[in-house]
Chain A
């Protein structure tokens, strides 16, 4: 795989499309076990990301990711704002000064991103948060020497679906304890869109 500036921008555009068309769905998921703002938060944030990227010029992938991070941090709010902001900031730092990102570099960037999210959210796998999608993705990447776009998507999807059976111990859904079981975690669904969008971009590039 190879990621260049135009693919990263396209990654964000596709993510935005998915989030905009699933805004109500994400909100309804968050209404069930949270406070119903996740779709609105993400739609506001990624729209701004796309606006920002289309009005700027970039030399390095890391600069694109830095703008993604800063925009999400200042526009999303809630729990997901600082978490996604941290994830993209860590990726940006890991890829600093690189024009074309190769697979090992990308792997490292995602590992850094997940570690950043875990640190910021003081959460681990199994607590019914977006980490339950990001960590399985890391495990998957670690096992591959070459990225299969389709498998990336299906790994994210399976991980997202598996959050249904988890009991939340972090985030707002934790207040519901057992009652959180049986619902998908909204942040895991939005994370799935991010990886599904990436998978589409990689497939186009291949």
Chain B
């Protein structure tokens, strides 16, 4: 393992310290927690937004803290969902009396830890609602199993639910629009190389030189299919098709596109992927409303990308436009 770290056990804490040192006017770390909150939290008369996740997905999740997006982000250990007490601290810190909205990615651990935090908050009289993001089409959606995972599509949920809350939307309204995003967003990822959790010291799996893995998650967990590496165009076609197969788009529909890097893939390659994705979408008669290319939801130093499509209507478009001062999503 070759990484810029002091002590593998301290990576999360030291990252958070560096994050606050970089943005002292925008964010604060709640004492004795791994919670990064808006400097001015709780914002009066606004629904508070909290998201969480293991670390290793930077800029997620702390990068999405800021006016127009999240009020707080809870960082777990690398790839491990944060504990209920930490989430509870975040909920208390952002509640202005209007209630708190939780954005959860669909992983067993995240869901259970959030449920417990929600129970703690409700016991103290704080109203809590949540949405569980499950945009990854690589995983079968079945009520008998854990269901689909949440990956890069989560960023759109942060943006749009955050905008709704910033406009003064009630807890129920924020929930309604977040549900709408989740119903209309789909993603799939692929990897060229694995990644190494600092405290584990070795990669979570091995990919040979000419291999790639499709349907990869964002935690170094294996994907659904391992195969020989193809050209960018073939890859973009396959990923886009898998996403479209799971959406119900008709000609003339508008989509927002996110070509997300998993950490080690140069933007050059992401743009090459986007070239083909946008060509396919226009050939099929879909309109691209806006495209986001970059590292939004990463998996440490994994090389690879994900393709996310969000079907947008006027409401979602308007909310996408709302100002955001989040450090990793300024507009």
A contacts, CB < 8 Å to B: 27, 31, 33-37, 40-41, 44, 73-83, 85, 120-121, 169-172, 174-177, 179
Contacts and interface: CB of A to CB of B under 8 A. Distances in A.
Chain B contact residues: over half helix, strand or loop, or mixed?
loop
Given A76-B83, A78-B80, A40 B109 contact: no
A77 B217 contact: no
B304 interface: no
A170 B79 contact: no
A96 B197 CA distance: 40
A82 B113 contact: yes
A82 B116 contact: yes
A125 B221 CA distance: 24
B78 interface: yes
A176 B116 CA distance: 27
Contacts of A81: 83, 109, 113
B113 A36 contact: no
Contacts of A73: 83-85, 116
B139 A74 contact: no
10 contacts: A35-B217, A35-B219, A75-B83, A77-B77, A78-B80, A78-B109, A82-B112, A85-B116, A172-B146, A172-B219
Most buried by B among A73, A79, A83: A79
A62 to B, nearest CB: 20
A126 to B, nearest CB: 12
Contacts of B38: none
B169 interface: no
A183 B116 CA distance: 30
Nearest to B85: A74
Given A77-B109, A81-B113, A36 B83 contact: no
B92 to A, nearest CB: 15
A174 B116 CA distance: 23
Interface residues of B, number: 37
A105 to B, nearest CB: 26
What 7 A-B pairs come out closest when comparing CB atoms?
A79-B109, A35-B219, A82-B112, A78-B109, A77-B80, A79-B108, A74-B85
B217 A170 contact: no
A129 B276 CA distance: 42
A79 B217 CA distance: 17
Contact of A31 (B107, B139, B200): B200
A191 B145 CA distance: 22
Interface string B303-331: 00000000000000000000000000000
Nearest to B217: A175
Most buried by B among A40, A73, A85: A40
A80 to B, nearest CB: 8
Contacts of B199: 40
A36 B112 contact: no
B222 interface: yes
B28 interface: no
Contacts of A79: 81, 107-109, 112
Given A82-B112, A83-B112, A37 B146 contact: no
B80 A37 contact: yes
Contacts of B78: 37
Contacts of A41: 77, 80
B282 interface: no
A175 B200 contact: no
Contacts of A78: 76, 80-81, 109
Most buried by A among B113, B146, B220: B146
B205 interface: yes
A89 to B, nearest CB: 10
B79 A37 contact: yes
A39 B138 CA distance: 27
B78 to A, nearest CB: 7
Contacts of A44: 77
Interface string B33-61: 00000000000000000000010000000
B81 A77 contact: yes
Most buried by A among B54, B83, B199, B219: B83
Given A74-B83, A75-B83, A170 B77 contact: no
Contacts of A169: 144-146
A24 to B, nearest CB: 8
Nearest to B144: A169
B116 A170 contact: no
B144 A121 contact: no
Contacts of A80: 109
